[in-house]
């Protein structure tokens, strides 16, 4: 759980048939029906779990996380 905002944020890890597997930054997993996510959902997308259990797509956070990973990978490639 994100202590600053008291929100639980998950990344979409993978699909297993009609099940979506999400994981938070602490390694806690959440399984939901694929239909609970937007049709365009893909691995790496970030979602906030709402009080009613629904998942809200976090576009800005998804883009930031992807940029952070890309920057980290680029720095690793430069160092090798």
Domains of the chain: 8-79 (2.40.50)
Element (H, E) at 24: strand 19-24
Instruction: Kindly give, in sequence order, each residue whose CB lies less than 8 Å from that of residue 30, ignoring residues fewer than 6 positions away.
Output: 10, 21, 22, 23, 24, 49
* pTM: predicted TM-score of the whole model, two decimal places: 0.81
Tell the residue number behind the tokens 């996510």, with chain if given: 37
pLDDT at 1: 54
8-state DSSP, 32:
E
> What is the spatial distance between Cα 72 and Cα 3, in angstroms, rounded to a whole number?
24
Q: Which stretches in the chain have pLDDT values below 50? A: 3
pLDDT at 78: 80
């Amino acid at each position: 759980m994100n202590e600053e905002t008291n929100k639980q944020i998950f990344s979409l890890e993978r699909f297993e048939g009609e099940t979506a597997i999400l994981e938070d930054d602490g390694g806690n997993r959440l399984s939901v029906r694929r239909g609970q996510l937007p049709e365009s959902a893909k691995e790496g997308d970030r979602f906030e779990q709402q009080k009613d259990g629904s998942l809200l797509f976090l576009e800005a956070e998804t883009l930031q996380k992807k940029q952070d990973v890309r920057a980290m990978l680029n720095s690793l490639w430069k160092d090798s």
